[in-house]
Chains A and B, each alone.
Chain A
Amino acid sequence: MAARSGWDLTGRIALVTGDRRGWTPHFAAALAEAGADVALAGHAGSDVHDAARSVRAAGREALVIESVLTGSEDVDRVVAEVTARFDRIDILVNNARVDFGKPLVETTDAEWDAVMRLNVRSTFLLCRAVGRHMLAQGGGRVINIASGLAERGLVNSAAACAAQGAVKQLTAALGLEWARDNVRVNGIGAGWLSAETPAEEAGRELLVRFIPSKRRGRPSDLCGLLVYLSSDASDFVTGQMVYVDGGAMAHA
C-alpha cells in the first residue's frame, strides 16, 4: 500500500537496549516486521534474548550483545560489534532503564548514582557512540523511551523524575544539535504500561480509574509510533517527546 512506503525499514539496522521489564521483545519485533535487522544490547538477565527470538520469528537477523551499558568502553564495544556485523546503525532505541521509588530523604548516594548511571549516563553514552557513527554515515534515527515522569512529578520518585527529565532534555538538545546532519532524535513518553497478563494486574486497578482510556497500556501500544519515528515518514519530526499514555497526561 502506497501509504506505507515511507514506513518501510527494509535494509535498516537497529540497536535496541533491553532491561528486565519485558518491553524489548515487542519493540524489536515491530522494527523487524517493518523490515529492520535488530541488534539487542543489555545485561545477561535482561529481555534481550527474548527480543532476539522475536526478531528471528519475524524473519530478520538478530544479534545479542551482553552489556551493562554504563561504561564508555563497554558501550563503544557494543557499537563496534554491531557495526562489525551489520556495517551500520540506522536506528538507536534507548529503551533500557530501571524503575525506582523511595522517599528522597532515605535515598542513598549509591541509589541516586545508580538511577542516574542506568537511566541517564547510559543514554548519553549510547547517543554519543552511535551518534558519532550516524554523523559519519550521514544520518540516523534515535528514539529515547521515557515516561510521563519526564513531565510530571510523583511522590517517592524524585530520582526517577530527575532522570526522566534529563532524558527529555537530552532529546530536545540533540534533536537540534544534529538537525542539519540528518539525524533525528525523538522520544516516546510511555504511560502506565504492563507486560503482565490482566490476572497479575488484579488489585492494582485503582489507578486505572484515573487513566482517561480506562486501561493500562501494553508495550505494543508504542510500536506504531516507534516505527514511525524510526522511518523516513518522520523526517520532519525532531526534538519531540510524544506521549502514549491513554490520556494520563491530559488529565488533571
Chain B
Amino acid sequence: MLDHLDLDDRVAIVTGGGTGLGREMVLALAGAGAAVVAAGRREGPITDVARLAAASGARALAIPTDVTDSHRVDRLMARTIDELGKVDVLVNNAGMVRDQGGAPIWDIDDQEWHRVLDANLTGAFYCSRAVAKHMSGRGEGKIINISSGFGLRGGRDNYMYACAKGALVQLTRTLATSLGRYGVTSNCLVPGLFPTEGVNASRETLPSGDLIPIGRTGRPQEIGPAIVLLASSASDYMNGATFAIDGGALAGGYAPTGHAPLVPLDMEHDGGA
C-alpha cells in the first residue's frame, strides 16, 4: 500500500510555496519523490525552498509568480511543462494570512474586498484553469485546494477571507464534478491553526493550544503526509472531498472546548422499558 505514496516521476506545483505551510508542502512532495515547483511572489523564499528540496535529491524550480495575474499564471504552467514536461499535481496554497482583526463591514472598501478575494480565490481559479486542459488531455491530475476553518464557519469581521476560503470548497466540488470524468481529481484540505512565520507576524499574541481540542497547535510538518496522500495514486477515488487537519477544532468548535456537561438520563421517560 505504501508504494502508492511514491511520487517518483510526478511533477507538482505549490503556489505560495516559499513560506509557511506551502514550504512544508514543497518539501514533503519532494521527499516523496516528486519534481517540485515552488511558486510565489517573492523570489527569496521560493529560491530557498527549491534549494532545500534539491538538496534532498529532487528536481526543484523556483518560479516567481503573482497568482492574481493570469498571464503570469499561464507562464508558470508553460515554464513548468517546458522544463519538467508536465504537471501532475497543483496545490493551490497561495493566499493571504487572515488579517488579525478583520474589519467591520462598513469599513471595507471595494478595493479591499477585491484585493483579498483575488489573492485567496481568483488565483486558485486562474491556476486551476491553466492546468485543467493539460491534465484532462493526459487523463490524470490532482488539484489540491487549501481552504481554512473560516471557509466552513463564520469568522467575526472576516468577510473577504471567509468568503474566499468558502468559495475554495465550492471550486473544489465544481472541479471534481467537471473534471472527474477525465481522470482529474480535486480535493480540499482545511488546515487548522499552525504557527508559521506568516501567522506569527500578523498576530500580537498567538492563541494558545488550549483552545484546540487536542491541546496543541499543528506542527507545520504535519501538513506533509496529508498533501502526499492527496497527491498520490493512493487517493485516486477521493474526489471533491474536503477534510480538516485541525486538532478537532471543526468537529465541535472552539467555544465548547472544556464544556463537558453531565446530564442524568430521565429513565422514567423510557417507561421503564
Select one of B6, B240, B245 contacting A236, CB under 8 A.
Answer: B245
Q: Does B228 contact A (CB under 8 A)?
A: yes
Q: Does A195 contact B (CB under 8 A)?
A: no
Stretch at the interface among A1-9, A69-77, A85-93, A123-131: A1-9
Q: Does B241 contact A (CB under 8 A)?
A: yes
CA–CA, A3 and B215, complex, Å: 25
Select one of B181, B214, B260 contacting A238, CB under 8 A.
Answer: B214
Chain B residues touching A, range: 35 or more
Interface residues of A in 15-53 (CB under 8 A from B): 29-30, 33-34
Report the minimal beta-carbon distance from B131 to chain A, rounded to whole angstroms.
Answer: 18
Q: Does B224 contact A (CB under 8 A)?
A: yes
Chain A residues touching B, range: 35 or more
Instruction: State whether A239 and B250 are in contact (beta carbons under 8 Å apart), knowing that A247-B177, A251-B177 are contacts in the complex.
Output: yes
Report the minimal beta-carbon distance from B8 to chain A, rounded to whole angstroms.
Answer: 9
Query: Which residues from chain B contact A228 at a C-beta distance below 8 Å?
Result: 225-226, 229
Q: Are B31 and A213 in contact (CB under 8 A)?
A: no
Q: Are B251 and A33 in contact (CB under 8 A)?
A: no
Interface residues of B in 218-249 (CB under 8 A from A): 218-219, 222, 224-226, 228-229, 232, 234-241, 243-248
Nearest residue in B to A235 (C-beta to C-beta)? B222
Q: Does B176 contact A (CB under 8 A)?
A: yes
Instruction: State whether A225 and B1 are in contact (beta carbons under 8 Å apart), knowing that A172-B252, A247-B177 are contacts in the complex.
Output: no
Instruction: State whether A224 and B172 are in contact (beta carbons under 8 Å apart), knowing that A3-B224, A3-B225, A175-B213 are contacts in the complex.
Output: no
User: Per-residue 0/1 for A238-252: is the Cβ within 8 Å of any B Cβ (1 yes, 0 no)?
Assistant: 111111111111111
Nearest residue in B to A169 (C-beta to C-beta)? B251
Select one of A222, A224, A231 contacting B232, CB under 8 A.
Answer: A224
Query: Which residues from chain A contact B257 at a C-beta distance below 8 Å?
Result: 176
CA–CA, A244 and B225, complex, Å: 17
Interface residues of B in 1-16 (CB under 8 A from A): 1-2, 4-6
CA–CA, A241 and B250, complex, Å: 11
CA–CA, A214 and B179, complex, Å: 10
The number of residue pairs between A and B whose CB atoms lie closer than 8 Å in the complex comes to: 164
Nearest residue in A to B175 (C-beta to C-beta)? A250
Q: Are A250 and B243 in contact (CB under 8 A)?
A: no
Report the minimal beta-carbon distance from B43 to chain A, rounded to whole angstroms.
Answer: 27
Q: Are A217 and B237 in contact (CB under 8 A)?
A: yes
Nearest residue in A to B182 (C-beta to C-beta)? A214
Q: Are B172 and A250 in contact (CB under 8 A)?
A: yes
Q: Are A7 and B180 in contact (CB under 8 A)?
A: no
Query: Which residues from chain B contact A34 at a C-beta distance below 8 Å?
Result: 1-2
Q: Does B185 contact A (CB under 8 A)?
A: yes
Q: Are B229 and A30 in contact (CB under 8 A)?
A: no
Nearest residue in B to A172 (C-beta to C-beta)? B251
Q: Does B52 contact A (CB under 8 A)?
A: no
Query: Which residues from chain B contact A217 at a C-beta distance below 8 Å?
Result: 237
Q: Does A212 contact B (CB under 8 A)?
A: yes
Q: Are A176 and B248 in contact (CB under 8 A)?
A: yes
Q: Are A179 and B241 in contact (CB under 8 A)?
A: no
Nearest residue in A to B29 (C-beta to C-beta)? A3
Query: Which residues from chain A contact B213 at a C-beta distance below 8 Å?
Result: 175-176, 179-180, 238-239
Q: Are A246 and B252 in contact (CB under 8 A)?
A: no
Identify 17 new A-B residue pairs, CB closer than 8 A, beyond the known A238-B214, A243-B241, A245-B241.
A1-B31, A3-B32, A3-B33, A4-B5, A7-B225, A34-B1, A172-B252, A175-B248, A212-B181, A217-B237, A221-B237, A224-B1, A224-B229, A225-B238, A240-B244, A242-B243, A245-B239
> 24 A-B pairs, CB-CB below 8 angstroms?
A3-B28, A3-B31, A4-B2, A6-B225, A30-B1, A175-B248, A177-B260, A211-B180, A213-B180, A222-B237, A225-B234, A228-B229, A234-B225, A234-B245, A236-B219, A236-B222, A236-B246, A236-B247, A238-B214, A240-B251, A244-B238, A246-B239, A247-B176, A250-B172
Q: For the complex of A and B, list the 10 residue pairs with the smallest distance between their C-beta atoms, beginning with the closest.
A: A239-B251, A250-B240, A224-B234, A212-B180, A221-B237, A247-B239, A233-B225, A179-B213, A250-B173, A3-B32
